[in-house]
Amino acid sequence: MLDQLISSLTDGLLLGFVYGVAAMGLTLIWGVMSVINLAHGPVIALGMFGTYLLFTHLGVNPYLAMVPVAGAGLIAGLVIYVIAVHRVINAPHLSSLLATFAVNMIIIGVGTAVFSTSPQNIDYSLGSVEVGFLTFPASRLVGAFGAILVTACLYLFLYFTRPGKAIRAVANNRMAAELMGIPSSRVLALSFGLGTMMAAVAGGLIATFFPFTILSGGPYELKSFVICVLGGLGNPLGALVGGLILGGLEGLIPTFMPVSWVPVVEFGLFVLVLLVRPTGLFGAK
């Protein structure tokens, strides 16, 4: 019993790292510009397909493929920002919610026409790893490692580079940052690009675990909402911790009750945290 508990907890936590990366993209965008990016799910799906196409058609190692996928994600984010988000950045929330949802529809619509909705998978196995009584696919371990790497890179970028510091300044107080001469439009575009880049990379990592379709981003988008709220909207490190909590819950809950209750607990917790501590479990009250 205890063995099984630890095993499913480990499984969930490893997955949680990758959830964390997906949510980090969403929370970064929120933190900088107070926009909830409803095109997040489709971008995750595009990351899956980008990795898949590079692997299947060009034979690129899926983990190496994530480098060009990240680049493409960054560019996609810049384009989405310029076309759909910039004009509504100061409008009421409904405008930016619906504008990003329109992008969601466009990506899903084109994606469905191009890729259909039949499931694909990346046929690349790293075998499995045994640690004591624990056995899990090596891809999970690599995925978790990749997630930590991405988080570390994001932090180094935000704290030790000029554009990164500019992003933090704009997130802190856009008006003051503008007065200091920081070009806020460019910073906002860059943040949006980084946010979608994280989503694309998360999609690439998830694609190495599970089969997927163009619609597969949706559930991860919803999970990202939950994670962001658990970790505090706008707090990237909180997103990683939130991801681990969610992953852990997904690992643990099925040992106590039927799997179908997992979303009830997840979303119940989500609403509860929003109501009781809208700044997240670790945020200031």
Binding residues vs other proteins (CB under 8 A): 30, 34, 36, 83-84, 87-88, 91-95, 97-99, 101-110, 112-113, 222, 225-226, 229, 233, 258, 260-264, 266-268, 270-271, 274-275, 278
CB-nearer residue toward other proteins: 163 or 218: 218
CB-nearer residue toward other proteins: 7 or 95: 95
User: What's the closest the beta carbon of residue 73 comes to other proteins, in angstroms?
Assistant: 19
User: What's the closest the beta carbon of residue 218 comes to other proteins, in angstroms?
Assistant: 8
User: What's the closest the beta carbon of residue 21 comes to other proteins, in angstroms?
Assistant: 20
CB-nearer residue toward other proteins: 171 or 233: 233
Kindly report the CA angle at 27 between 260 and 202, in degrees rounded to 5? 65
Q: Put residue 130 in one of left, alpha, beta given phi > 0 → left and psi -120 to 50 → alpha.
A: beta
Q: Are 122 and 208 in contact (CB under 8 A)?
A: yes
User: What's the closest the beta carbon of residue 213 comes to other proteins, in angstroms?
Assistant: 14
CB-nearer residue toward other proteins: 59 or 92: 92
In order, the DSSP letters of 184-218 are: HHHHHHHHHHHHHHHHHHHHHHHHTTS-B-TTTHH
Please give the single-letter amino acid code of residue 273: V
Kindly report the CA angle at 186 between 223 and 234, in degrees rounded to 5? 30
User: What's the closest the beta carbon of residue 202 comes to other proteins, in angstroms?
Assistant: 19
Please give the single-letter amino acid code of residue 264: V
Decide: helix, strand or coil at residue 54. Answer: helix
CB-nearer residue toward other proteins: 206 or 233: 233
Paired tokens of 221: 């988008």
